[in-house]
Amino acid sequence: MTVIFNFFYNNDIISKVMVTVINEPGDDMNPYIPTKTPRFVIIDYRASEEILNYIKKLNIEPIMTLKCADLQEPVDGHPDMVIHPIDFETFVIAPNVYDYYRNVLGSIGIKVIKGGKTLNRNYPEDIAYNVARIGRYAVHNLQHTDQVLKYYLEEAGIEFIHVNQGYSKCSAAAVGENKALTSDVRIHETLKSYNIDCMYINPKAVYLKGYDYGFIGGCAGLISEKIFLSTGKILDENILNTLKKFIQSAGYIYDEASSGQIIDLGSLIPII
């Protein structure tokens, strides 16, 4: 961003100074850290009415995902499997569902870019866009990151952290610029080594139909500049109480969108 300063003497401009202000990566760039209440949020097409009603009460309009028939059924509506927001205005979309999101997101002012990797149902052919964003970092198994996505992240000045976990976004959620939650032990260790304050949550606390458990990044995240939202209740009181304290330490309010058990819906992607 370029700012022009005018200097006056006796009401006359005597000089102009142009200053280019460069945001550091992570400053208002992490699309999973809303700076205000979003206009929309992208959510799994199977989200319950209770969850949708909660979102609407915040004056946020849900955008339901399109079922991606090329993915396994439990995750075929998860937005974080097919969409990656570079920033608040630019989204990279898997070719499988590109036409749908080009129309839906393009109509509300989002720049939609077609990714290079067409997804298939078996790992690792399904993980190309499932990249976690923690602070100024993109966290993923970089051997399988979509190359178009990687290019735009590099252009945005985002740094990369390699982890073995391919479902990185499913496994982690940003809690402000230097805090994160994860249900993956190795991601927890790696983020701690980068001086990121990270809380580990046992994935067995999360429900995902069709699998033994879900992932914390897919069922919780910042829904506004004030609220960290869980899709439901964590039944383990010890985990819940520790989580609430962690969220509050980052300056956010912890809330639950439903009275049911916390469920992995593949992240909530805010659009401000």
The pLDDT tens digits for 25-44 are 444 589 999 999 999 999 99
Nearest by Cα to 83 from 74, 92, 73: 92
Q: What confidence score (pLDDT) does residue 210 get?
A: 85
Model pLDDT, residue 191: 98
**Would the pLDDT of 9 be above 70?**
no
Tens digits of per-residue pLDDT, 106-130?
999 999 999 999 999 999 999 999 9
DSSP string for 77-110: T-HHHHEEESSSSEEEE-GGGHHHHHHHHHTTT-
Q: In sequence order, which residues have a C-beta less than 8 Å from that of residue 109 and are 6 or more positions away? A: 89
Query: Mean pLDDT across the chain, nearest whole number?
Result: 91
pLDDT digits (tens, 9 = 90+) for 147-180: 999 999 999 999 999 999 999 999 999 999 999 9
pTM, to two decimals: 0.89
CA–CA gap between residue 16 and residue 6 (Å, rounded): 5
Percentage of the residues of the chain whose pLDDT score is greater than 70: 90
How would you classify the pairing of strands 172-174 and 83-85?
unpaired
125-142 per-position pLDDT tens digit: 999 999 999 999 999 999
Strands (E), the chain: 2-9, 12-20, 40-43, 61-64, 83-85, 90-93, 111-114, 132-134, 137-140, 159-162, 172-174, 179-182, 197-200, 220-222, 227-230, 253-256, 269-271
